[in-house]
Amino acid sequence: MARITFLKNRLQPEDATIDVAEGTTLLKAAQDNAIPLGHACGGVCACSTCHVYVRRGFDSLGEMEEDESDILDKAFGVLAVSRLGCQTKVARTDLVVEITPESSQAYENEHPELKPK
Ligand code: FES
């Protein structure tokens, strides 16, 4: 098990901390816990809308595959701690994850009812 904290953002007013099994992707963890992480392609590594910054625990993650790297190249605001949520599997180390503005926007586009008033 590992603990993931998804930092608050404009669609999620508080930090959300969840426990997940090793091997779970960040996207699956988010989806199972109603955390607003965008996923326009459905998690098949074709869109970059699940782009996150792994603010703590980044080094515990597996190496990025070429497909993930290629798609991440198309994302906005890529940093050294960037990963795609649909391709990133949790190890046993706790993580702190920031959902990028790009991802929040994608989620909001698919869920207009959540748009902040
Ligand atoms: S959901 Fe599209 S690349 Fe991750």
Place of tokens 């920031």: 98
Domain extent at residue 30: 2-86+100-114
One digit per residue, the tens of pLDDT, for the chain of length 117 reads: 999 999 999 999 999 999 999 999 999 999 999 999 999 999 999 999 999 999 999 999 989 999 999 999 999 999 999 999 999 999 999 999 999 999 999 999 998 887 666
Convert 16-40 to b/e letters by CB count within 10 Å (16 or more is b). beeebeeebbbbbbbbeeebbbbbe
The answer to whether the CB of 48 is under 6 A from ligand 1 is yes
Distance 116 CA to ligand 1 centre (A): 24
Contact 45, 67 (CB under 8 A): yes
Instruction: Give residue 62's identity as a one-letter amino acid code.
Output: G
Distance, in Å, from the CA atom of 19 to the CA atom of 79, rounded to the nearest integer, reads 26
Structural domain includes residue 104:
yes
CA of 64 to the centre of ligand 1 (A): 14
Q: Is residue 94 part of a domain?
A: no
Inside any domain, residue 82 = yes
Ligand 1 atom nearest to CA at 68: 3
Q: Is 77 a domain residue?
A: yes
For residue 43 and ligand 1, the question of a CB distance below 6 A is answered with yes
Q: What is the pTM of this model?
A: 0.95
What's the gap in Å between 86 CA and the centre of ligand 1? 5
- Domains in the chain, number: 1
In a domain, 108, yes or no: yes
Tokens of 107: 């989620």
46 in contact with ligand 1, CB cutoff 6 A = yes
**CATH, residue 20:** 3.10.20.30
Residue 92 belongs to a domain: no
DSSP 23-51: T-BHHHHHHHTT-----TT-SSSSS-TTE
